[in-house]
Amino acid sequence: MNSSEDIKIKYFSHGIMGMKNNLAVFLQTIRDKKPNVQFQKLIGTNVPFLNAFVENQNGELFTRVYHHPILPRYTLPYVVGHSKLAHGDWFRSALIRAVCYCSLIEDFTLERIYLELTCLANGYSIFFVENNVQHFFSYFHADTMRYLKDQTMYDKFR
């Protein structure tokens, strides 16, 4: 091996190990100062991060909404006061979040159906759900997006 290759390998090894050591020290500092903060280090092709699931598929980044398996499904946030208005706002916000998080039209459609079922399971009428979904697509001038499964159009919509 010539000296330039040897230097590159040493630099690479030192750089990676240096980053790992710095990360370990940083994480231990956080654990010492804030024992109630829980986290885990993950290295892999996918990771749940906050409420998003991020995945690397052959060099392309894909994202979607992440639902924690331990948390109860199909529940609405607790609201004091006019719950129908607040849940309508939540529904629209959740649809906007789904568009931002879901890189594939199929994932967005599944999330939209999940949100619709959540409202229906909590006693809201089909009219409430349909009205909010229609308002969402109309507001963003994307009425055709509701029924089409065209990834190119969805990418423009995002």
H/E run at residue 66: none
Task: Give per-residue pLDDT as tens, 20-34.
Answer: 677 778 878 888 888
CA 20 – CA 25 distance, rounded (Å):
9
* Cα-based distances in Å from 151 to 24, 56, 102, 145: 41, 18, 11, 10
pTM: 0.69
- Asked if the model's pLDDT at residue 17 lies above 70, the reply is no
Mean pLDDT of the chain: 81
Q: Are strands 52-57 and 46-49 parallel, antiparallel or unpaired?
A: antiparallel
Residue 112 in contact with residue 155, Cβ under 8 Å?
A: no
**Cβ density class 6-16: b for 16+ within 10 Å, e for less:** eeeeeeeeeee
Task: Give per-residue pLDDT as tens, 41-73.
Answer: 667 788 887 888 888 888 888 888 888 888 888
CA 16 – CA 18 distance, rounded (Å):
5
